[in-house]
Amino acid sequence: MWLSRFFRRRRKQQARPIGEAEAYARSYGEPSPDVKVIKLPPRRPRDRAVLESGELIRHAFLERLDRRRGGRKDPPPPPDA
């Protein structure tokens, strides 16, 4: 009887949930002093006029390529306005 108590398995306790920082620390250890985390400023909004002019230049370039090849391809559709 006392032998059965000796070999009885105890229930494992449920592990508590850990956060992302603690999980990272357990996996990778302490961060290296060679790495510096910086916060970038927000990106400035894109200028729509610049984007549209870039598309016009791209389409003009593709038309020139098609003319150089002998017009084997259909010209690209005009940009949506």
For the segment 22-35, what is each residue's pLDDT rounded down to a tens digit? 888 888 887 778 87
Structure-model confidence comparison of residues 38 and 71, the more confident one: 38
Query: Is the model's pLDDT at 78 over the cut of 80?
Result: no
Please say whether the beta carbons of 79 and 56 come within 8 A.
yes
Query: Is the model's pLDDT at 15 over the cut of 90?
Result: no
Query: Is the model's pLDDT at 81 over the cut of 70?
Result: no
As a dihedral over the C-alpha atoms of residue 42, residue 44, residue 48, residue 49, rounded to 10 degrees, the angle is -170
pLDDT of res. 42: 93
For the segment 34-68, what is each residue's pLDDT rounded down to a tens digit? 878 889 999 988 888 888 898 999 999 999 998 88
**For residues 73 and 37, what is the distance between their CA atoms, to the nearest angstrom?**
49
